[in-house]
Structure 1
Amino acid sequence: MIDNIKPKEATSIINSLIGGVVPKIGIQHITVGRSEEINAVVSALEDVKNGHSMVKFWIGDFGSGKSFMLHLLNTVALKQKFVVANADFTPDNRLYSNDGKGVALYSAIMDNVSIQTKPEGGALPTLLEKWIEQIITKTADENNISLADIRNEQYLNLIQNNIMKTINEITDVGGFDFGTVVMKYYEGYIKGDEQLRRNALKWLKGEYRTKTEARQDLGVREVINDLNYYDMLKNFCKLFVSMGYSGFMINLDEAINLYKISTSVMREKNYEKILAIYNDCFQGKVSNIFFNFAGTKEFLENQRRGLFSYDALKTRLATNKFETAQIRDFAQPVLKLLPLNNNEIFVLLQKLKAIFDYNYKTEIQISDYEIQQFMEELFNKPGASEFLTPREVIRDFLNILNIIRQNPTIDKNMLFGELEVSDERPEEFSLDSIEEL
């Protein structure tokens, strides 16, 4: 039932799902019931590849599969030769801030940059070195110098001039300092100066907090901060495209943390930043960039704290009035994730059982009929219709498989009888009672 799965993927899937989180790799092996959404994304990726930009909002209840969907988008985009990055909004990571929380989000994005050969993140040094190698080759060709000789320190200036020339061609804002730091990275690369390379990478990831420190270490006048990090993301997008990548996809999860911002002024500033990104993408001010936001229905539709509290976003993000549960519009910016039906959950559990057996090199004695029994027991529990999520179903199922694996003679019906349904939702719906500061 599971084809071409790698041992590393199987282990990641089982361990992550038991821990209640989405696996970073192998997610395509457990995808069910999202084919229309995936087809819509493949079509959107094609547009972005051709120079357009896109923003999508993935909206669903807690545990409905929003994070899963973002990880699935990663897999699809990486296959289409996109550079992909993920980050979560947290109380300390925001789009707008004046105390370092904006650049903290930027740093999280740059830490998680992925390419197909490094799907788990940390690919920024690989990309920089690949780009530098392209510049080296180009400089050698233009100056009729062999690839072996061009790396000598005597040709450092030639390479640096080409780095700055290329950076100037692709950057709009902050290009000089950006180019200077990339040159420092190359200098460290060619001279084997690991500290210089680390300092350059630290600057590019937005980890310098003071201009003084950056000037001492790298000789630059500016640092990446709350005000300019978005420009730097656009610069990186252009850099990636110049290297031959299709574009830059940025996935931002846990948007409920913007809804939770207690002061209305700061919350509005964050929504203003979403509006700026939305307008840039749909008005053609930026190219080859794809933003995905994942959040709950509250985050989107709450008239007092959600995106709909900001009129300019409310008019842009209103659902197509002709859409129904049966007739969907996957081209609109807001995509509401419908819960998996029972048949889809059954297929998912079958897949997980096969992956579990593959991972542990075992053959758990649990039939399709017993999987259906498990589902019936769980879905008929008090509170199931209100609180049960795919996350809880999956975790309970894998926990039962683990018990059977280690206790082969145990009575499965006894295990099924001990199933319980609890409300795992975070305390986000009582937020309207929070006093505005």
Structure 2
Amino acid sequence: MNTVAPEQKEQRRHQSLNIINALRRGTVPADGLERIVVGLDVEESIISRQLDYVADGGGDLKFVRGDFGSGKTFFVARALEIAGSKGFATAHVFISPSAPLSKPKALYQQICANLKTIEAEHALKTIVDNWIFAIEERLISTGRDFGENAVLEATTEKEIESALAGISETNTGLAAALRAYYRANNAGDFPIAQAAIGWIAAESTIGRDFKQKAGIKGEVDDSSAFSFLLGLVEIIHGAGYQGLAIAIDELETTQGLQRNQRERSYQTLTRIIDALDGGRMPHCYFLFTGTPSFFDSSRGIRSVTPLYDRIKVNETDNYKNPRQPQIQLSRFDNSKLEMVALKVIDVYSLAYREVDRERVSYRFIRAMIKKLTNRFGGRVDIIPRIFLKEFIDVLDKCEIYEEYNPADAYEFDAEHLKGELKAEEEAVIVVEF
């Protein structure tokens, strides 16, 4: 008879609580997405195979296309979860005024700031430590007698330079910063070690003092950010990870930029695609998300023919092919939302106690969905986030109050959502007088 170990049961309960807490706040859970995902089996298998190819030394990408309500952000979060389970480091970046695609340095900063592994959030320092430790272990395993630590340290510094030889031909700063970090750590000079990590991450607060001590000229800028990213991927792989999986979300915001900024953004995108296709970014995987207008409008990538030709899809029938450059997500429908609700009940039961299926029946779930869709112009694809917030509230009340019967008590009141509705939700809500 198979039994679940107490620590595993507690981990599962803790994850369940995290999922419910995130849904209660209307956000995407940090992990455990496989427990609430529905209708994406084919797309997940495509991503999984691509990641296997990248782990073997390839470079690849996928564009995720979908309207508001199709679950693009959830899907890329799930894809990064799959990547993490396969041993990749991951980073989830949102295109915004502070991180525009037109500025490679800002993009690189966001990748470093959001770097994550299974073991750690904000994982840049952990990755660098693992990389240096792997170098030392490799040197020790040769059986060579290094005598004093100073000999091992000097040899490790040479290996740091050698490991980044390809990058150092055009960018000496990364290797210099890593040597400075290694020396500072060994000397117990933690402010300098922290400054070195900050400089590698392109943080703007690192001053001249560190650069002078490290013998570094200049800093990460738009012209060097790409080579720094290549170096970062080498470090990640050398630290024992399969590679780096990066999700770049909400590309459609690029359409609102001035023409010269849009053109620079699309140049950045073209450069990434060409580097991946040209084999210059091994062990690196990119996921990009955008609305249909980003792909098809005159201010989107259709305005750049060479780029558009690289990632357009051929549609000759009703059978979508997710192996093409774009995965096209379908809008949420009633059946998908009902399935999610049932999965959430299972998660909630582990987080708290078994949900009363008589009070929270399948019939009630369908009735609740209908109440919400009626207030949002019949658009079920608009309501998943709101529905799940409301649904968790219902489950909470059922768990707290034995006498609470949602079939009689639940009514959807949009007043309490004022100020938190997104533009797309506001646009279709039916105002009651």
- TM (normalized to structure 2)? 0.87
- The Cα of 1:114 is off from its aligned counterpart by 1.7
Identity of aligned residues (%): 23
| 264-273 vs 211-220, greater mean Cα deviation | 211-220
Out of 27, 33, 51, the residue aligned to residue 27 of structure 1 is 33
| 408-417 vs 215-224, greater mean Cα deviation | 408-417
- The Cα of 1:132 is off from its aligned counterpart by 0.9
The one-letter code of the counterpart of 1:404 is C
C-alpha distance in structure 2 between counterparts of 1:217 and 1:374, whole Å: 64
Distance 1:428 1:298, change over 3 A: farther
CA contact (8 A) 2:355 2:395 kept: no
1:397-423 alpha-carbon deviations (Å, 9 max, x no partner): 112223333444234134443355999
**Other-structure match for 1:336:** 328
1:71-107 alpha-carbon deviations (Å, 9 max, x no partner): 111111112221211111111101223xxxx423322
C-alpha distance in structure 1 between counterparts of 2:384 and 2:122, whole Å: 30
CA contact (8 A) 2:36 2:344 kept: yes
C-alpha distance in structure 1 between counterparts of 2:55 and 2:326, whole Å: 21
**Map 1:324-403 → 2, pairs under 5 A:** 324=318, 327-361=319-353, 363-364=355-356, 365-381=359-375, 383-385=377-379, 388-403=382-397
The one-letter code of the counterpart of 1:110 is C
The one-letter code of the counterpart of 1:12 is N
Distance 1:369 1:183, change over 3 A: same
- The Cα of 1:195 is off from its aligned counterpart by 0.8
C-alpha distance in structure 2 between counterparts of 1:428 and 1:184, whole Å: 51
**Other-structure match for 1:418:** 412
**Other-structure match for 1:288:** 283
- The Cα of 1:6 is off from its aligned counterpart by 1.9
| 417-426 vs 8-17, greater mean Cα deviation | 417-426
CA RMSD of aligned residues (A): 2.8
Distance 1:429 1:344, change over 3 A: closer
Matched, 1:223 2:200: no
Distance 1:376 1:190, change over 3 A: same
The one-letter code of the counterpart of 2:388 is I
The one-letter code of the counterpart of 2:154 is N
CA contact (8 A) 1:82 1:248 kept: yes
The one-letter code of the counterpart of 1:374 is M
Distance 1:38 1:20, change over 3 A: same
Distance 1:142 1:205, change over 3 A: same
Q: Secondary structure at the match of 2:379?
A: helix
C-alpha distance in structure 2 between counterparts of 1:206 and 1:424, whole Å: 35
1:233-275 alpha-carbon deviations (Å, 9 max, x no partner): 11111222233422211111122222222x1111111011111
C-alpha distance in structure 2 between counterparts of 1:134 and 1:191, whole Å: 19
Out of 261, 270, 293, the residue aligned to residue 265 of structure 2 is 270
**Other-structure match for 1:164:** 161
C-alpha distance in structure 1 between counterparts of 2:163 and 2:82, whole Å: 30
CA contact (8 A) 1:10 1:355 kept: yes
CA contact (8 A) 1:83 1:247 kept: yes
C-alpha distance in structure 2 between counterparts of 1:53 and 1:370, whole Å: 47
Matched, 1:321 2:327: no
| 204-213 vs 345-354, greater mean Cα deviation | 204-213
The one-letter code of the counterpart of 1:398 is I
Q: Secondary structure at the match of 1:57?
A: strand
Q: Secondary structure at the match of 2:164?
A: helix
CA contact (8 A) 2:168 2:175 kept: no
The one-letter code of the counterpart of 1:426 is A
1:132-171 alpha-carbon deviations (Å, 9 max, x no partner): 111112233446237xx66x34543222122212221565
1:195-240 alpha-carbon deviations (Å, 9 max, x no partner): 1210110111111467745523522012111221121111111222
Number of residues of Structure 1 aligned to a counterpart in Structure 2: 415
1:305-350 alpha-carbon deviations (Å, 9 max, x no partner): 22222222222222212252xx120111111111233332212101
Give ranges in structure 1 of 5+ residues lacking alignment.
431-437
Q: Secondary structure at the match of 1:384?
A: coil
The one-letter code of the counterpart of 2:155 is L
C-alpha distance in structure 2 between counterparts of 1:10 and 1:427, whole Å: 29
Q: Secondary structure at the match of 1:322?
A: coil
C-alpha distance in structure 1 between counterparts of 2:322 and 2:239, whole Å: 31
The one-letter code of the counterpart of 2:33 is I
C-alpha distance in structure 2 between counterparts of 1:26 and 1:210, whole Å: 37
Distance 1:331 1:173, change over 3 A: farther
The one-letter code of the counterpart of 1:215 is K
Q: Secondary structure at the match of 1:258?
A: helix
**Other-structure match for 2:430:** none
- The Cα of 1:41 is off from its aligned counterpart by 0.5
Matched, 1:69 2:94: no
**Map 1:214-253 → 2, pairs under 5 A:** 214-253=210-249
C-alpha distance in structure 2 between counterparts of 1:160 and 1:94, whole Å: 36
C-alpha distance in structure 1 between counterparts of 2:222 and 2:402, whole Å: 56
C-alpha distance in structure 2 between counterparts of 1:371 and 1:414, whole Å: 13
**Other-structure match for 1:435:** none
Q: Secondary structure at the match of 1:55?
A: strand
CA contact (8 A) 2:332 2:381 kept: no
C-alpha distance in structure 1 between counterparts of 2:261 and 2:268, whole Å: 11
CA contact (8 A) 1:172 1:235 kept: no
